[in-house]
Chains A and B, each alone.
Chain A
């Protein structure tokens, strides 16, 4: 819904409010007036949009640390506007966009341009700048100037910084900026031409494998660098048991590191590749069931701080290619809550814990404080129905792209509505 069409007053009734900022739940109605929470009594008489939240939880809007909105350069896959709609439909009110655009976001001008362009979108776009000029992994980009322009983190995205000294310098250089550096956690040489998890299945299928140790080796190096420099490292999309264990050990030793896991790595496994489906091709790859369980355990015990989508749109044409040519990546915003909630509650986590991993978890990584859901706060809300069982289908996709192996899956837990100061999504 466009900003101009937003209702001035909204009342969410009959649900339970779970405030991740306080960890407390209460059965109250929430009222929103002109983008802010107000006392229900203070609503004007007359036109109020009422959202029936019976059986639902209302909480802070989700925050995604890892999305690709492809603007500028590949607007055929996604734009800031289409990505924002997808995010809103997935319950997100803030999204960090990765800098691997064409050209990459590696200057303060580029950061500012992206922020200006995204003003007024239904979700808040937060910009991640490149660590090195042109994502080339050689020369440091203008991290300080980009931070001043509003960048919230730095990453060369899918291109791992191969040269350890470059990342070491960056960690030192950015130390006082208070924002994390994110390095794609795969050793590019060990990963080689791998298109799926290396193991018995890749051997059977004859597809080049990407070994678990490609992730473990890079994560270990990066953790050493973080411990050595005292810099802020955030490890993206953990997918292997080994890497989860390493993060756990370094955290216990006091390193300033945080980590994320994607809905697809915590819910899906390599078995989806058995029929040679390019939709399931992603980097890092979908792993074994024991890796998946290790990722879930990492989320459960706090080793992994949050869920991030790595929403990566690609065109139909690209994903119709063979297993070697088709690009890596899948979209994830619209299915994130359903996939994560299904897999994590099955593993014994509470719905509230899943909501933490989508709200306070990512906020903590970025050192953001979430306002308690009280009158006066900016209205960033999501209404979820934890008991709703549904089949994820193309009709639920708002992204410009449709590349996801989650299509057709039965999910438990669904976003009913999302509110932000500039947007309202009402589902079914």
Chain B
């Protein structure tokens, strides 16, 4: 039996990635999900492969998820976190590139605050680049784990109605979900404060639903984005109570909708802001499934992008 292979060299984003490739990554994700349920959760697939987790922005969750995925596949893992301060001092992409060359890395998992950073990096390094979030551009592994979780729950993505609620303009999670879900045949609607809906977002193929209750009446599942505290600092969100009243997934709001709507959240959750505690802990919410699926789908991505190197 020949295994399906993806046509990707890097995973920079989901824009432009084919449905066939996404399906392969999800299918293998399910396989690894089973591995993760076994008593011995480790496979030797990427033995001898060097992966660096290069984080220019704090992200405990994504970094740990990648690290787990890498270790389960027996890769050699190096963590390299660069705080915001040294970035301000001018530690730029160029030096990152030179360091990666010098360390002879096979793969770079990079989180960076600037949109396009992963694309730029991929132009200069031999290593496989996996985008772990580049500013407000893309977060493809998050969207893949969201899709894995949706497929697990619904058995399909095609025709699924998915709403995304929150600060769409600054959200890489939103963009990657939009690109990935549309490619897989789902319908996507976005909802949030008017000034946090990016201009001409309809051109991406999504609809804009200004009212959360309208969105909940339509959607099979909603992805609730985390409200970043810095947006409040910048005066873009007047107050927690106003946001919660307008856009929060509250108990009262959900109670008005009889149909069960599946709820995703990329974490970390601001309980009582974008989502009520009871809602986040309810059976409707698949937030913890997302966490384990995150490890599984990242194993799948590493396996497909680095497997050929390990074999060679």
Bound Cα distance A255, B273 (Å):
54
A206-B134, A206-B135, A325-B92 given; name 6 further pairs at CB < 8 Å: A199-B200, A203-B198, A206-B138, A206-B172, A209-B199, A211-B199
- 22 A-B residue pairings within 8 Å (CB atoms): A199-B199, A200-B204, A202-B199, A203-B204, A204-B203, A206-B135, A206-B138, A207-B115, A207-B136, A207-B137, A208-B136, A209-B198, A320-B92, A321-B94, A322-B93, A322-B116, A322-B120, A323-B114, A323-B117, A323-B120, A324-B113, A324-B115
Minimal beta-carbon separation of A376 from chain B (angstroms)? 55
Q: Which of B94, B114, B134, B199 contacts A203 (CB 8 A)?
A: B199
Q: Which of A209, A275, A317, A322 contacts B114 (CB 8 A)?
A: A322
Query: CB-CB < 8 A to A324: which residues of B?
Result: 113-115, 135
Q: Which of A198, A207, A211, A317 contacts B116 (CB 8 A)?
A: A207
- Interface residue? B265 (CB, 8 A): no
> In B76-122, which residues have CB < 8 Å from any A CB?
90, 92-94, 112-117, 119-120
Minimal beta-carbon separation of A89 from chain B (angstroms)? 29
> In B112-146, which residues have CB < 8 Å from any A CB?
112-117, 119-120, 134-138
Q: State how many residues of chain B have any CB contact under 8 Å with chain A.
A: 27
Docked-complex contact A206 and B200, CB < 8 angstroms: no
Bound Cα distance A199, B94 (Å):
29
Docked-complex contact A206 and B93, CB < 8 angstroms: no
- Interface residue? A205 (CB, 8 A): yes
Docked-complex contact B92 and A205, CB < 8 angstroms: no
In the complex, which of the residues A198, A208, A276, A322 has the most CB atoms of chain B within 10 Å of its own CB atom?
Answer: A322
Minimal beta-carbon separation of B257 from chain A (angstroms)? 29
Minimal beta-carbon separation of B182 from chain A (angstroms)? 12
Identify the closest chain A residue to B203 (Cβ). Answer: A200
- Interface residue? B201 (CB, 8 A): yes
Q: State how many residues of chain A have any CB contact under 8 Å with chain B.
A: 21
Query: CB-CB < 8 A to B27: which residues of A?
Result: none
What is the 8 Å Cβ interface bit string for chain B, positions 158-183, against chain A (1 contact, 0 not)? 00000000000100100100000000
- Interface residue? B15 (CB, 8 A): yes
Bound Cα distance A209, B198 (Å):
9
Bound Cα distance A389, B52 (Å):
47
Bound Cα distance A198, B195 (Å):
14
Docked-complex contact B119 and A276, CB < 8 angstroms: yes
Q: Which of B92, B115, B120, B199 contacts A206 (CB 8 A)?
A: B115
Identify the closest chain A residue to B114 (Cβ). Answer: A322
Query: CB-CB < 8 A to B175: which residues of A?
Result: 204, 206
3 closest A-B pairs by beta carbon, nearest first, are: A276-B116, A206-B137, A200-B203
> In B6-23, which residues have CB < 8 Å from any A CB?
15
In the complex, which of the residues A204, A320, A325 has the most CB atoms of chain B within 10 Å of its own CB atom?
Answer: A204
Docked-complex contact A203 and B200, CB < 8 angstroms: yes
Known contacts A207-B116, A322-B114, A325-B114: does B94 contact A317 (CB below 8 Å)?
A: yes
In the complex, which of the residues B115, B117, B135, B169 has the most CB atoms of chain A within 10 Å of its own CB atom?
Answer: B115
Minimal beta-carbon separation of B169 from chain A (angstroms)? 8
Bound Cα distance A132, B135 (Å):
37
> In A181-223, which residues have CB < 8 Å from any B CB?
198-200, 202-209, 211
Identify the closest chain A residue to B113 (Cβ). Answer: A324
Query: CB-CB < 8 A to A203: which residues of B?
Result: 169, 198-201, 203-204
Identify the closest chain A residue to B116 (Cβ). Answer: A276
Minimal beta-carbon separation of B297 from chain A (angstroms)? 21
Query: CB-CB < 8 A to A205: which residues of B?
Result: 115-116, 137
Docked-complex contact B199 and A322, CB < 8 angstroms: no
Bound Cα distance A204, B113 (Å):
16
Identify the closest chain A residue to B87 (Cβ). Answer: A325
Minimal beta-carbon separation of B40 from chain A (angstroms)? 40
Q: Which of A199, A317, A323 contacts B115 (CB 8 A)?
A: A323
Known contacts A320-B93, A321-B93, A325-B114: does B204 contact A198 (CB below 8 Å)?
A: no
Identify the closest chain B residue to A275 (Cβ). Answer: B119
Bound Cα distance A205, B119 (Å):
11
Identify the closest chain B residue to A316 (Cβ). Answer: B94
Known contacts A206-B137, A325-B92: does B200 contact A276 (CB below 8 Å)?
A: no
Bound Cα distance A203, B171 (Å):
10
Query: CB-CB < 8 A to B112: which residues of A?
Result: 322
Minimal beta-carbon separation of A282 from chain B (angstroms)? 16
What is the 8 Å Cβ interface bit string for chain A, positions 315-357, against chain B (1 contact, 0 not)? 0010011111100000000000000000000000000000000
Minimal beta-carbon separation of B112 from chain A (angstroms)? 7
Query: CB-CB < 8 A to B199: which residues of A?
Result: 198-200, 202-203, 209, 211
Query: CB-CB < 8 A to B138: which residues of A?
Result: 206
Query: CB-CB < 8 A to B90: which residues of A?
Result: 325
Query: CB-CB < 8 A to B134: which residues of A?
Result: 206
Bound Cα distance A207, B120 (Å):
14
Known contacts A320-B93, A321-B92: does B204 contact A204 (CB below 8 Å)?
A: yes
Bound Cα distance A317, B120 (Å):
14
Bound Cα distance A322, B114 (Å):
7
Docked-complex contact B200 and A323, CB < 8 angstroms: no
Minimal beta-carbon separation of B23 from chain A (angstroms)? 23
Query: CB-CB < 8 A to B93: which residues of A?
Result: 320-322
Query: CB-CB < 8 A to A202: which residues of B?
Result: 198-199
Bound Cα distance A323, B112 (Å):
12
Minimal beta-carbon separation of B87 from chain A (angstroms)? 9
Minimal beta-carbon separation of B140 from chain A (angstroms)? 12
Known contacts A199-B200, A209-B199, A276-B120: does B15 contact A204 (CB below 8 Å)?
A: yes
Bound Cα distance A198, B203 (Å):
13
Minimal beta-carbon separation of B167 from chain A (angstroms)? 12
Bound Cα distance A199, B113 (Å):
21
